[in-house]
Amino acid sequence: MRQLFALIKKENYTFFNGWSLWIIGGSYIFLSTFLNFFMGGFFSLSNAGLYSFFSFQNIVFIFVCPAITMKLWAEERKYGTIEFLLTQPISLSKLVLGKFLSCLCIIGFLLFISFPFWLYCTLNYNMDNLNIITTYFGCFLMGCAFCAIGCMISALSTSSAISYIGTLLALFLISFADFSRLLHLTKEQEDIYIRLQNSLNFDYHYYDFLTGQISLDNVFYFVLLSIVGIWLNIRILEYKKG
Amino acid sequence: MLRQKIIKNIFFLAVIVLSFVLFTSLMETTSLLLGDKKADLTQKHRYSISNESLNIAENLPKRVNITLYMSKDLSAEYPELGIQSQYLLRLLNKYQAASKGKININVKSPEPYSATEYEAKSEKIRAFPDNSNTKNLYFGAVFSNNLGEKYTIPYFSIQRQNYTEYDISRILAKLSGYNKAQIGVISYGGNIMDWQAFNKIKEDYVLTELSRTSISIPKEIKTLILYAPQKVDEKLTYALDQFIMRGGNLILFIDPYAETIAQRYPYTKKNTISLLPWLNHLGIFMDENKIIQDMSDNKTNYFSFLDTQNTENLYFEINQAQINTPDEIAKPHKLSFSSAGEITVSPISSATYTKILTTSENIGTLDTNIAKTEISEKIINNLKKEKGNRAIGYLVEGWFESFYPDSIYGNISDIEILPPFVLSSLKPSKIFIFSDSDFLADTQWNAINYLKGARVYDQVPSNNNADFLLSLVDYMSNNTEMAKLRVNYLYTDDYSIADQISAKIYRKYQKEYLQKDADLRKLQKEFLDFQDAFKSKKNIMSLSKIQEYDDFIRKIHKLNEEKKVLDYQVQQEIMQKVNYVMLENMIFYPFLLLLFITIITKLYLRCKRKQEIGMLHE
């Protein structure tokens, strides 16, 4: 456990003690609030659940999460420190978990810097706070899944840029890709395709949180996706190591 | 070596594919095991389907086909419609699950020039252009059953999002077979048939306007809406009496001060409600010389805010706590009244009297004539504060005695064509009485909403009022399933954030508005007197009088200009506030927090380093 904490501490040290805090944190909050005010219709909607703010969080996270995860393994590999890390008296699974948890701390921090906006709205306008808390929970789970995928892709590449673009593409594909037109499916096939797409789609599962609803299958989706991501990350490292 | 590497690569790929397959199958299994159970944590469970809607779906007697015409590019072209489509699809799935296979949903995406597009057009689904204006998009649905009955929602608009469940449930109830009753309307308030409330009724019922001099109500009409009766013909009173004796249901809007009528006939100072003796006979009373105003905090604000804008309505809203509908009628979100009267009852033993709509504890009463003739300041000053909530809507059900002692009614010449005279109720009847006729007036509410800055169709209070009337008509026509349906407010039950900002700023300038308004009225009155003096030849034309005339015009013009400046100032302040809100939340607060965190981190690290150096020294 102590090893895990040490690893999380080490990873977060570089984030909080450098410009990453300002660049990632600043761009996250600026992008979120910009979309909220200029595209989400914050003023014209009677959005008690801050719908205009949270409805764009999936898009913002698609851009921000790869930036958090891109250098996790890619940089270690680039600077040759991965060999050193893998020879440390710490298991591979703990190593992966530590890196993943450090990403979650950053996701938590990003959500935390949006609290003043929530506080401001609650103090000045009529808000549905339970709905907002549910959406924050959904955002955090979505962040977990995005980071797990990001960690996995970072382990595959040696360049941070490739890792960023790869994660961005993967997240975009899972969120928005629709191949039904290319595949020329029949009605029955299309129904199966839509069902399959919905079971994989981030947006589909996030929407319920956005509307203040918690269901076990949505929580399970994000948790499972994170577990699969971490597990594949371990397998990739083992493969590369071997 | 090479073979081993190939095997390893294949194994690695197999692991990835296997994990993908495992993930999707696990997701499918969990969704099958857990079903569609969700905990709705929103206030008032906004995103949960109501029990009334689920009941309708469960009790569908016939199979219903829902064809949803939804373009694939909807989300990409209009993200708001994409969100709306997600909500709609989930809602339809809930209906389908509740119906146990009786609802069949078919989603079609009309591609340009395809057979599906032609089909959508022929089903009257509304086409709208995409952002590049190159092709049409569709977002509507057709509901049909095996009997060939068909209802179409041409377009699921964002503005009507709160009504999505309500509209679908009403259609499903209609497809299950409902009583499409004939509803009679007698109006004393002009052309009311075009009003929103009556348009809503027209969609589901046969609405027939009857003459104000009717001597009998046609027997097909079981429910009658009597709007703002003033000087009611004696023949009609007789017809109404006999209609009630037959077991007819009456929805009555009666008012000590009907603004809608006052607008048409501004010089009528005194309105007498000749129907009152008949109502008194039924145990219902109303003082036509007194109007009441709800003086609760927020309502007084609205009232004063409106007053600054030259409307002299004593306007107030009542909320769900003040609405006590029976289980068969949906409780509306809120209702709005303007210069309402007070209803009291003296119950007769054969009928039950239920107080449905009441004001809050803090009320103000006012003489009707003052409300009709005086300026806003005087209206406010003359409001007499009283305690105790007052009834503004009553439901009376039961058996009654006729108002007329016998059938021989001297003034009616063609007595022989009348239905046989009935001395007491043959069947129990229902009477719903509202003490405000402006309750339904579109013109009235549009003015109020314009001043309140309402932009969204769903927030127009007349919608709530109109919905409530529709529920009453459903209840009176024995369509209880439909009467129980309520509108589901998805975002909030209040106003948009822009409206809240505007209201706050308007309130700040309230006194100035009132002052300018009073000055202008005073000046206009003086000017009118000055002109009258010329007409009555009290004043003779002279150079000084012409100058005085010019001065009046100049002063009025100046005051009007000042009001415009004040308006501009208020608008500017609203814009400024909006900009501040954006600036504060986009830059100021988050970056302040980031700075704070940076400082804390640096201090923590410095302390730690000092500690470490200290330990090293030791």
- Domain boundary assignment for chain A: 2-241
Beta bridge pairs of residue B66: B105, B143
Nearest CB neighbour to B500, from listed A125, A133, A211: A125
Please give the pLDDT value at position B313: 61
Write the pLDDT tens digit of every residue in B549-607. Answer: 889 889 989 988 998 898 898 889 999 999 999 999 988 998 899 999 889 988 988 99
DSSP labels, B342-377: -EEE---TTEEEEEEEE--SEEEEEEHHHHHHS-HH
Interface mutation target, options A180, A211, A221, chain B, most CBs of B under 10 Å: A211
CA atoms of A231 and A93, how far apart (whole Å): 8
Write the pLDDT tens digit of every residue in B355-378. Answer: 999 988 888 888 887 777 776 667
Per cent of chain B over pLDDT 70 is 88
Q: Is B501 on the interface with A (CB under 8 A)?
A: yes
Interface mutation target, options A15, A43, A55, chain B, most CBs of B under 10 Å: A43
Residues contacting A234, CB < 8 A, separation 6+:
A92, A93, A96
Question: Domain ranges in chain B?
Answer: 43-160, 179-288+323-359+390-446+456-494, 509-606
Q: Average the pLDDT over each of A51-60, B75-84, B136-145 and give the range with the smallest value.
A: B75-84
Q: Hey, are the CB atoms on A235 and B12 less than 8 Å from each other?
A: yes
Token pair belonging to A232: 């594949």
Tokens 């339904």 locate to B440
CA atoms of B526 and B559, how far apart (whole Å): 14
DSSP labels, A203-219: HHHHHHHHTTEE-HHHH
Q: Hey, are the CB atoms on A46 and B459 less than 8 Å from each other?
A: yes
Token pair belonging to B248: 């007819």
Give just the sign of the alpha carbon dihedral B345, B349, B351, B352: positive
Bridge-based pairing of strands B136-145 and B127-129 is antiparallel
Contact B65, B151 (CB under 8 A): no
Q: Which residue has the higher pLDDT, B42 or B226?
A: B226
Q: Is A125 on the interface with B (CB under 8 A)?
A: yes
Chain B hits for A116, Cβ within 8 Å = 585, 589-590, 592-593
CA atoms of B195 and B10, how far apart (whole Å): 72
Among B580, B411, B594, which residue's Cα sits nearest to residue A25? B594
**pLDDT band per the 50, 70, 90 thresholds, residue B181:** very high
Fold of the domain built from segment(s) B43-160 = Glutaredoxin (3.40.30)
Contact B137, B73 (CB under 8 A): yes
Q: How far is A185 from chain B (nearest CA, A)?
A: 13
Q: Is B338 helix (H, G, I), strand (E, B) or coil?
A: strand
Cα–chain center distance at B411: 43
Please give the pLDDT value at position A217: 85
Tokens 């499972």 locate to A224
Fold of the domain built from segment(s) B179-288+323-359+390-446+456-494 = Rossmann fold (3.40.50)
Q: Which residue has the higher pLDDT, B137 or B13?
A: B137
Chain B hits for A37, Cβ within 8 Å = 582, 585-586
Please give the pLDDT value at position B318: 86
CA atoms of B451 and B377, how far apart (whole Å): 19
Residues contacting B541, CB < 8 A, separation 6+:
B534
Nearest CB neighbour to B12, from listed A26, A121, A239: A239
Cα–chain center distance at A127: 26
Q: Is A226 on the interface with B (CB under 8 A)?
A: no
Q: Is A134 on the interface with B (CB under 8 A)?
A: yes
Mean pLDDT in chain B? Answer: 83
pLDDT at A138 over 90: yes
CA atoms of A127 and A120, how far apart (whole Å): 10
Rg (CA), chain A: 19
Write the pLDDT tens digit of every residue in B381-414. Answer: 778 888 888 999 999 999 998 888 766 555 556 6
**pLDDT band per the 50, 70, 90 thresholds, residue B141:** very high
Nearest CB neighbour to A116, from listed B79, B500, B590: B590
Q: Hey, are the CB atoms on A213 and B15 less than 8 Å from each other?
A: no
Token pair belonging to B4: 């081993």
Query: What single DSSP character describes residue B440?
Result: G
The B residues from 563 to 582 touching A (CB cutoff 8 Å) are: 578, 582
User: How many angstroms separate the Cα of A53 from the Cα of each of A30, A32, A35, B168?
Assistant: 11, 7, 7, 29
CA atoms of B28 and B131, how far apart (whole Å): 36
Please give the pLDDT value at position B416: 59
**Longest Cα pair distance anywhere in chain B, in angstroms?**
123
B495: closest chain A residue by CA: A46
Contact B254, B228 (CB under 8 A): yes
Write the pLDDT tens digit of every residue in B238-286. Answer: 889 989 998 999 999 998 888 777 766 655 555 567 888 999 999 999 9
pLDDT at B1 over 70: no
CA atoms of B13 and B19, how far apart (whole Å): 10
pLDDT at B291 over 90: no
pLDDT at B521 over 60: yes
Q: Hey, are the CB atoms on A224 and B492 less than 8 Å from each other?
A: no
Please give the pLDDT value at position B376: 65
Rg (CA), chain B: 32
Residues contacting A44, CB < 8 A, separation 6+:
B455, B456, B496, B498
CA atoms of B105 and B66, how far apart (whole Å): 5
Nearest CB neighbour to A30, from listed B30, B87, B586: B586
Please give the pLDDT value at position B347: 92
Please give the pLDDT value at position A119: 92
pLDDT at A108 over 60: yes
CA atoms of A42 and B288, how far apart (whole Å): 46
Please give the pLDDT value at position A164: 93
CA atoms of B430 and B472, how far apart (whole Å): 11
Q: Is A53 on the interface with B (CB under 8 A)?
A: no
Assembly ipTM = 0.84
Q: Hey, are the CB atoms on A117 and B8 less than 8 Å from each other?
A: no
Interface mutation target, options B43, B159, B499, B606, chain A, most CBs of A under 10 Å: B43
Q: Is A79 on the interface with B (CB under 8 A)?
A: no
Chain A hits for B27, Cβ within 8 Å = 199-200, 217, 220-221, 224
